[in-house]
Structure 1
Amino acid sequence: MSQENHSARNQWTVGTLSYTTAGLVLLFCWLLAGDFAWSMKERGVANTATLLVKSFGVSDFVYSLLIVSFPNFTSIFLGPVVSYLSDRHRGRFGRRIPYLAFTTPFIVTGLIGLAFTPMLANRLAAEANLSIHTAGLLVFGLFWILLDFGTTLANVIFVALVNDVVPAAFLGRFFGLFRAISLGAGILFNYFLLGKAETCALLIFLGLGILYGIGFTLMCVKVKEGEYPPLPEEEAAGSGPLGAVRNYFRECFSLGYYRWVIAAYVAGTLAALPLNAYTIFYAQSMDVSMDLLGKYLALTYVLSFVLSYPLGMLADRFHPIRTSMAAIFGYFLFSVAGIFCVRGQVSFAVVFVLHGVISGCFSTLSSSYAQRLFPKSIFAQFNSAMMMVMFAGFTVTAPLVGKILDWSGNQYHYVFYAGGLIALVATACFHVVLKKYRALGGDEHYRAPLPEFRNSREDA
């Protein structure tokens, strides 16, 4: 029996949840309110933390290890654990909300701690007879770990919550709105605050911490989950840690189809990493001020904001596999052009804005990719497997690109070579996924396959 349908009276159901049009709009509002708090944190933390940690005199390689690789390395291990537990949790508040509520204090504490890092570093340096750079890295590292812990856990559960409470017919458009909210947050931060990030980090981190605490708590209180079917007897009884690990990898990776699904998305996401990770340093090498870079980013987000909802509709209409493949091939063509085009501040501005728009198109067009392809009953587990592979890719790719840039004497145009190569691989992977998707029933009859050893009660 389908877990989701649309009745003649404009009611939509997903699992045991049923929505009228007004109820669906209200659900969107609360989820988007939480997403705004999340997006302001994501948009604001990365660049502000980059400038803060660079003030301690670290190299590109050390920067990439701390800011890019470390969070992704921890996600490789934490994401699968919390997603596996969440899929199998049954409680009065649902299987997602309790985990999201648990992560909020860690994130808020991390943000507020980063706000006071320079002050605490000065105090530590004086009392422990350390250099200010060493003390700064120690204090920064402590609160960065707290922030990373909460963010890693919340990241995999937030997307799973959306999959549990939003009808599939609206996922593409909903993630289009998610993308619009994220871009709106990016516009606000980069236009008004990025130019002040070097001098007003305390107020920025403090404000982000307060906003996140309020916004995410309200979402956790207002969004209600439905009831979930009981666990199979063997899972309810528990199979121990080793059994859980074995089940996780066997379920997620035993079918070749899902390995291709994961590879395509991961490669597509990694394509923009080389330029994204070194944007600030590339801009500085071109004598572009942080204030001007913030304006470029704001323009990028404005353009992407306008496109976000229509792109979400396209993903619903043509399927995220097709739209993602088209977008990532476009990024490959862009990267080839970028190798030859950046010669000064003006060309940097044009190429940088195009990079943001095209990579943003891929992000929006692929937002509902996992939801449309993975089994619904254990979605968080499958999605975390994909994120685990992606984080492993981030962990390796960012330092590798950083080392190449160090060896090249910081010739930042090499990021286009790396991005183009990855985008070409992603295009080929999406082509394979599309062929396999058609073989499994395609748009009309697709059902997310599960390994034969699992008794599926799945509705695709």
Structure 2
Amino acid sequence: MTAPGKIWRAGTLTYTTGGLVLLCFWLLWGDFPWAMKDRAVGPSATLLIKQLGVSDFLYGLIIVGFPNFTNTFLSPAISYISDRHRGRWGRRIPFLLFTTPFIVFGIYLMGLTHLLGGWLHEGIPALPEHHAKLIVFCIGWILLDFGATLSASLFNALANDVVPKEVLGRFFALFRMVSLAAGMIYNAWLINKVENHALEILFGVGTFYGIGLLSLCWKVKEGEYPPPEAEPPLPGGAGKKRTLLLRVAHSAADYLRQSFSLPYYRWYMAASAVASLAFTPVNFFSIQYAQKLNLGMDRYGIYLVITYCCSLVISFTLGILSDRFHPLRTGLAALILYAVLMFASFALMADAVYFGVLFILHGVVSGSFFTLTASLGSRLLPHGLFAQFSSAGGIVFAAGSMVMGPALGKTLDLLHQDYRYVFLIGGFVTVAAIGLFVKIYHNYLEHGGDQGYRPPMPE
């Protein structure tokens, strides 16, 4: 990954090869509990909430729609503030520290769904027990979502700030490998135990997350940043009192103007969002599909372990390909392959045997797309406003997810849970993503391409 004796630079930071390896160690150490949280909490939440007898529509509303609703305003706010923050501990780490307790206690509370829900029902007998448990679950989900939404855009922004750009593709491939390892651990040994041991599993995940993130924030050091841009002037002249509400309003207007004024970035955000949404149908309803086919969670977990093993083997090679050929080209190739797979899956899906093979292929190809495009934002977005533009893209994705999650759930309710249609829907969304990726590739070439790319800057 590195050349001996070479000096690596990321902004004002410089590393020897040994220093770069140490940086990667601490970032990957922090990424492992982060990945375990991502890999474990989502499936565990699905199993917990389905135990409470909710419909697919309500599931889509809570698990898919609500987090993306909060993402539309929380992520932009923290990203805008973080890009402009200058402090002793950097511009990302203080905010990562702030979000950690919310995530930890949210995971704890979800693990206590059955215990506290039972107590709540005993205290309020008129409240049905499954409603009481759903209330406890949702409170924990809200706490977790608040912390996770705030921190999600900052974690990659930290890596973008401290990792040299020459190795970003390979570095994000290592991130991906750590995430896959976490997924293998969870699905090999824990997923089939969630229904009976959610408390122990989620308490372990929450504690591990807290330890890992605190370690990362302690050991990783940020560099110096240029002074932030001056805040836009308030109407009425400099003498007018700057009330908090007015400052927030003008900061929001500045955020929206900078992020969405240029068509170049609007196309980029649309392409990134639609590509991510293409994988949503299968990802969010695969557990329900497996249960309808009478597959136990142990077998479902084995399918995921096989998926992650395959992805783990190829991840670093994909990172090298991304660095060499550019994530736009490699991501487009992955989308084309995924579209073919989705339409073939809809035609072939008939029983549990086909489900296993096609589900594994879905995981490998969709995972390859994320590995191949992990450094896309770092390659296309303005460095000084990276977190802001990333969060603006998150708004577009969140808006699409808020519609797609409940809409998918309602559609599947109307189709009497015929989950075969998640493949067909995923295929059509992928075709749209391919068209958008072709558009932003042409835009990339118009702004210098491989030889002289310069990201356009908003006024």
User: Does the TM-score normalized on the shorter chain lie above 0.5?
Assistant: yes
Q: Which residue of 2 aligns with 1:366?
A: 373
Name the counterpart of 2:9: 13
Where do residues 31-430 of structure 1 align in structure 2 (5 Å cutoff)? 31-129=27-125, 130-234=127-231, 240-430=247-437
User: Following the alignment from structure 2 to structure 1, what is the Cα–Cα distance between the partners of residues 30 and 63?
Assistant: 24
How much has 1:116 moved relative to structure 2? 1.5
Name the SS for the 1:241 alignment partner: helix
Using structure 2 for the length normalisation, give the TM-score. Answer: 0.95
Which segment drifts farther, 230-239 or 297-306? Answer: 230-239
1:191 Cα deviation from its structure 2 partner: 0.9
Q: What's the CA shift for 1:232?
A: 2.9
> Aligned partners of 2:233 and 2:63: how far apart in 1?
39
How much has 1:233 moved relative to structure 2?
Answer: 3.4
Q: Distance in 2 between matches of 1:177 and 1:42?
A: 16
Structure 1 residue aligned with 2:238: none
Instruction: Tell me how far 1:234 sits from its aligned partner.
Output: 3.8
CA distance in 1, matches of 2:259, 2:16: 35
What is residue 445 of structure 1 aligned with on the other side?
452
Structure 2 SS opposite 1:199? helix
Structure 2 contact 232–254 (Cα < 8 Å) conserved: no
Counterpart amino acid of residue 162 in structure 1: A
SS across alignment from 2:383: coil
Distance in 2 (alpha carbons) for counterparts of 1:343 and 1:57: 26
By how many angstroms is 1:374 displaced? 0.3
Report the identity percentage: 49
Shift of 1:250: 1.1
The Cα of 1:7 is off from its aligned counterpart by 11
- Equivalents in 2 of 1:449, 1:197: separation in Å? 48
Deviation at 1:8, TM superposition (A): 10
In structure 2, relative to structure 1, the CA distance for the partners of 1:272 and 1:46 (3 Å cut) is: same
- After TM superposition, give the deviation of residue 298 of structure 1 in Å: 0.6
How many aligned positions are there?
Answer: 447
Q: How many angstroms does 1:197 deviate by?
A: 1.1
Unpaired segments ≥5 residues, structure 1: 1-5, 454-460
Distance 1:249 1:88 in 2: 15
Contact 2:84/2:229 (<8 A) preserved? no
Q: In the superposition, relative to structure 1, how do residues 233 and 48 fare at CA in structure 2: closer, same or farther (>3 Å)?
A: closer
Letter in 1 for 2:318: L
Which is worse superposed, 373-382 or 48-57? 48-57
Q: Deviation string for 1:321-341 (max 9, x for gaps)?
A: 111111011110001101111
For residues 36-87 of structure 1, the C-alpha deviation after alignment (integer angstroms, 9 at most, x for no partner) is 0100011000111111111111101001111111111111110000000000
Q: Which runs of 5+ in 2 are unaligned?
A: 235-241
CA 228–278 in structure 1, closer or farther in 2 if over 3 Å, else same = same
Shift of 1:258: 0.7
Code of the residue aligned with 1:396 in structure 2: it is V
| Whole-Å separation in 2 of the counterparts to 1:243 and 1:345 | 55
- Aligned counterparts of 1:183 and 1:260: Cα–Cα separation in 2: 30
> What displacement does 1:235 show?
5.6
Query: What is the match of residue 237 of structure 2?
Result: none
| Aligned mates of 2:411, 2:133 — CA distance in 1 | 27
Measure the CA separation in 2 of the matches of 1:103 and 1:127.
32
- The structural deviation recorded for 1:10 is 0.5
- Secondary structure, aligned partner of 1:377: helix
Change in CA separation of 1:236 and 1:203 when aligned onto 2, cut-off 3 Å = farther
Local SS of the residue matching 1:278: helix
SS of equivalent residue, structure 1 residue 229: coil
1:172 and 1:49 map into 2 onto residues whose CA distance is 31
Q: Which amino acid aligns with 1:134?
A: H
CA offset digits 1:134-169 (Å, max 9, x no partner): 100111111111111000011011111011000111
Task: Select which of 25, 29, 33 maps to 1:29.
Answer: 25
Q: Give the Cα separation in 1 of the matches to 2:193 and 2:252.
A: 46
Structure 2 residue identity aligned to 1:391? A
Q: Distance in 1 between matches of 2:394 and 2:30?
A: 21
Amino acid at match of 1:393: G
Change (3 A) 1:313 1:385: same
SS at match of 1:197: helix
Secondary structure, in 3 states, of the residue corresponding to 1:367?
coil
Cα distance in 2 for partners of 1:287, 1:97 equals: 45
Partner in structure 2 of residue 458 of structure 1: none
Aligned-pair RMSD on alpha carbons?
Answer: 1.5
TM superposition shift of 1:409: 0.8
Between the aligned partners of 1:38 and 1:87, the Cα distance in structure 2 is 22
Partner of 2:239: none
- Alpha-carbon distance change, 308 to 19 in structure 1, aligned in 2, over 3 angstroms: same
